[in-house]
A and B are shown apart, each in its own frame.
Chain A
Amino acid sequence: KQEVTQIPAALSVPEGENLVLNCSFTDSAIYNLQWFRQDPGKGLTSLLLIQSSQREQTSGRLNASLDKSSGRSTLYIAASQPGDSATYLCAVSYGGGADGLTFGKGTHLIIQP
């Protein structure tokens, strides 16, 4: 059974710091990897999608990298802001895209003003 692990489970940092969230997956034969953000009691907002053939994707202050051979992805957040406080979820797809995602349990991030 494929497993996705996110470390750390929780993180609290002062505003302005750069930070890295980690995601690892047991089966490296992924189709793609997606990072999401979830605010309390809300749905998921897609942040970045990395196809298996790609090494990284960037959107604004966010950069996600993928090392498929080692089964790892990182989400880098630059110059963190209080509005970045949320739970960040990593999810992988093993099928051709029509299959569902396998999720990690998330990293709960708090940015202190």
Chain B
Amino acid sequence: DVKVTQSSRYLVKRTGEKVFLECVQDMDHENMFWYRQDPGLGLRLIYFSYDVKMKEKGDIPEGYSVSREKKERFSLILESASTNQTSMYLCASSPGPTGREQYFGPGTRLTVT
């Protein structure tokens, strides 16, 4: 079975802190994704990556950056956390290059106070 793991289930940070959310997949997938999920807004794509050191902006990249130094790991970085970044963050992966199923991790609920 595909396994996507995220470093924390719950995280509380203060405004202005630099925050790292880590995601690891164990199926040698080329593609990895970061989404956030908010009530009333649904899931929205932040960034994705189709190869090591490659990254593409999604629909809402402002305030975020990403890093993919190894194929299995995709990190989401909040450079200076703000309260409007309080959300559920979900990581996903899929095999590439042709369209296949996306597999999701358990999510990280981030609260910024």
Q: Which of A97-113 contact B (CB under 8 A)?
A: 97-106
Complex CA distance for A45 and B96, rounded to whole angstroms: 19
**Which residues of A have CB within 8 Å of B40?**
105
- A104 adjacent to B109 (CB under 8 Å): no
A43, A91, A100: which has the most chain B beta carbons within 10 Å?
A100
CB < 8 Å A-B pair total: 70
List the A residue with the shortest CB-CB distance to B106.
Answer: A43
Interchain nearest-CB distance for A58 vs B (Å): 15
Q: Which of B84-113 contact A (CB under 8 A)?
A: 90, 92, 94, 96-107, 109
List the A residue with the shortest CB-CB distance to B33.
Answer: A100
Complex CA distance for A99 and B101, rounded to whole angstroms: 12
Q: Which of B16-67 contact A (CB under 8 A)?
A: 30-31, 33, 35, 40-45, 48, 50, 56, 58-59
A41 at the interface (CB under 8 A from B): yes
**Which residues of A have CB within 8 Å of B50?**
98
Complex CA distance for A89 and B90, rounded to whole angstroms: 14
Complex CA distance for A32 and B98, rounded to whole angstroms: 10
- B42 adjacent to A106 (CB under 8 Å): yes
Q: Which of A70-113 contact B (CB under 8 A)?
A: 89, 91, 93, 95-106
- A89 adjacent to B31 (CB under 8 Å): no
A62 at the interface (CB under 8 A from B): no
- A98 adjacent to B102 (CB under 8 Å): no
A-B residue pairs in contact (CB < 8 Å), sample of 22: A34-B101, A41-B109, A42-B106, A43-B4, A43-B106, A44-B90, A44-B104, A46-B103, A89-B43, A91-B102, A97-B94, A97-B97, A97-B98, A97-B100, A98-B30, A98-B31, A98-B94, A98-B97, A99-B48, A101-B33, A105-B42, A106-B42
- Known A49-B100, A99-B48, A100-B48; further 4 A-B contacts with Cβ < 8 A: A46-B104, A98-B30, A98-B94, A101-B102
A interface list, Cβ under 8 A from B: 31-32, 34, 36, 41-46, 49, 51, 89, 91, 93, 95-106
In order of increasing CB-CB distance, the 5 nearest A-B pairs are A97-B99, A100-B45, A44-B104, A98-B50, A103-B43
